[in-house]
Amino acid sequence: MRMRDTFIKPMHPEGRRFVAIFAAITVVLFLIWQPLGWLGVGATVWCYYFFRDPVRVTPVREGLVVSPADGVVSLIEPAVPPAELGMPDVPLTRVSVFMSVFNCHVNRAPVAGRVTAVAYRPGKFFNASLDKASTDNERNGLAIEMADGRTLAVVQIAGLVARRIVCFTAPEKRLAAGERFGLIRFGSRLDVYLPEGSVPLVALGQTMIAGETVIADLASDEDTRPARTD
């Protein structure tokens, strides 16, 4: 690995037109007043950084559930998956990962499996860190059937600033664990509904890395891991 790779990350194609728009506005700002132009440069760099799409190394052992998003764990609680996914009306453990506007927003599949449902539902734009965002906000959900027949749900939720959920997959497509399946612009949250009886191995406030941080191990009977705040 080269040192520059630590700082310079590839950009997702979804971000190209936004960076171009920011750059064009920056040129105009320079023509108006140079200090404004430099503010535009900062905003353009931020836009590129928002759409960064770094390479991730995903653990692929059977039973592992990895985080679908960068961010922090904001909620761990029982909840019924969205009705539009057609899953049983049974509370499952929901792990919510909140993404700020400074996190990478490319979303990755938490497990390998067949997509059995993709369901979009319009809604409101409350702060994504709030509990009611799961039920009231605009969202797009995926149900993924794993090799053992169990189903896991992952739901993209728009936030206070986010106004566009993008999904790259479709029903009957097979996803690999850690494979890119969508993104959200700008600032949002992802919910993972673990299969019944699963125990999360993360704690509230824990920093997550999409495609790498393990949320749960479905092949293990390990109890919830203790955590501390330093």
- Residues identified as active-site: 188
| Cα torsion 176, 177, 180, 185: sign | positive
| Cα torsion 87, 89, 95, 101: sign | positive
Q: Among candidates 167, 224, 223, 220, which has minimal Cα distance to 190?
A: 167
Q: Which two tokens stand for residue 106?
A: 């490319």
d(CA 197, CA 210): 23
d(CA 46, CA 61): 35
Q: Among candidates 160, 206, 213, 163, which has minimal Cα distance to 183?
A: 163
Q: Among candidates 217, 200, 225, 199, which has minimal Cα distance to 74?
A: 200
